Structure 1
């Protein structure tokens, strides 16, 4: 399988260093669509701070991917739902750290989550 960042280079505004406009996947045999994942611990309790929730989100995503025989290296798309736009910088930093600096196609949306204590929800698409 080959995963390649796709950036047209012209005709569209430039991407920043932490994301790309598109990701091309060739030769993948599987796609894994991970539902929106919250910053909840194993007992379903939310982390007390934004940073704790972001840590739990990426830990939960790693566990889900691992159960499918994948890692964060298989992630090709990330969508984040933030309760407040003030969370954007911390969310981006957590994503960059979790992906070890690998840029993928990503979108962040400010939205109301189903529970007020859920500060961020993240869904991913992985290819393998």
Structure 2
């Protein structure tokens, strides 16, 4: 079964293309996978609260950092002709040493997300507590899946 899955994945990837789209110089990346199936999927991973010059925005403020990440996501998706309305899944990685996301953190990211997702929040949304992110000042990292 494992060999069949690996073979199937290889076949699908051979029909598609992977490319890194240009984004602003902040950390994080976007790549586009078109596996030859209906609908085009884009995976945006590792979005962090840095501005176009690579400077951290909102040190110590989860709400401000989340807003900056959504601005970055809008720009990244725009490079492949999509918007936040195309997002079907979002995963928030919140820095928390105790391994639990507080109600306040959930409320903050939900409020910011609701202000950016004009077509409604994605049906699949997950919030994960992680002990460490790239820098001590970074409180959140976001990844999304979008389908055109």
TM over 0.5, shorter chain: yes
Gaps of 5+ in 2: 1-36
Deviation at 1:59, TM superposition (A): 0.3
What is residue 57 of structure 2 aligned with on the other side? 47
- Which stretches in structure 1 are left out of the alignment for 5+ residues? 1-26
Q: Contact between 2:87 and 2:144, CA under 8 Å: does it hold in 1?
A: yes
> Normalising to structure 2: TM-score of the pair?
0.64
Preserved CA contact (<8 Å) 1:58 1:98: yes
Report the number of matched residues. 102
- Picking from 6, 16, 35, the partner of 2:45 is 35
Give the alignment of 1:18-33 within 5 angstroms: 28-33=38-43
Deviating runs (4+, > 3 A) in structure 1? none
Matched, 1:90 2:100: no
Larger radius of gyration, structure 1 or 2? 2
- Which structure dedicates a bigger proportion of its chain to helix? 2
Aligned Cα root-mean-square deviation (Å) = 1.6
Of Structure 1 and Structure 2, the greater strand share is in 1
